[in-house]
Homo-oligomer: A and B are copies of this chain.
Amino acid sequence: MSGSVDPMLAHGREVLASQPFSVLVGAELAALSPGRAELRLPIRQDLRQQHGFLHGGVVSYLADNALTYAGGAAMAVPVVTSEYKINYLRPAIGDTLIARAECLNRGRQQAVVRCDVFVVKDGEEKLCAVAQGTVARLGEGS
């Protein structure tokens, strides 16, 4: 049916819309399926740092949130990111930031997830950060 949205994706978008900070920075949930998530964020002037490229904090935010979504969609329960690590590869210069996360391992209490973050410039995606972390069932964290 034209215009229909997958129920898991629709629910994920409702959750994102209920996060004031995600609304503030303008993140969008582009895809969500068991163990996989894609978040997108149009790069705006007010998200930059002093050298003119996207602030690392925004890159981290998008990676962190993508980890949570992919892990939550794998575990099918409410989750939070309990820890992650990120390596910044290059300055995020472009129009859009894309974070794609994939769950590698899912347990009863937690999931381990990886995320690749790309910046899109002139229609070309470039890998600009990589993250890896743990998503924990809500209320079961540290």
Contacts and interface: CB of A to CB of B under 8 A. Distances in A.
A74 to B, nearest CB: 11
Give the size range of A's interface with the partner: 35 or more
A22 B55 contact: yes
A57 B21 contact: yes
Chain A contact residues, majority secondary structure: mixed
B55 A61 contact: yes
How many identical subunits does the complex contain?
4
B142 A127 contact: no
Contact of A47 (B20, B105, B107): B20
A85 B55 CA distance: 17
Interface string A49-74: 11000111110111011001000000
Contacts of A21: 46-49, 54-55, 57-58
23 contacts: A18-B50, A19-B55, A20-B46, A21-B49, A55-B61, A57-B57, A60-B60, A61-B61, A81-B88, A83-B85, A85-B85, A87-B112, A87-B133, A87-B142, A89-B104, A89-B105, A89-B142, A104-B130, A105-B127, A106-B142, A109-B109, A114-B130, A134-B142
Interface of A: 15, 18-25, 45-50, 54-58, 60-62, 64-65, 68, 80-90, 104-112, 114, 127, 130-134, 136, 140-142
Q: Which 6 A-B pairs have the closest CB atoms?
A: A57-B61, A21-B55, A85-B85, A18-B50, A107-B142, A89-B105
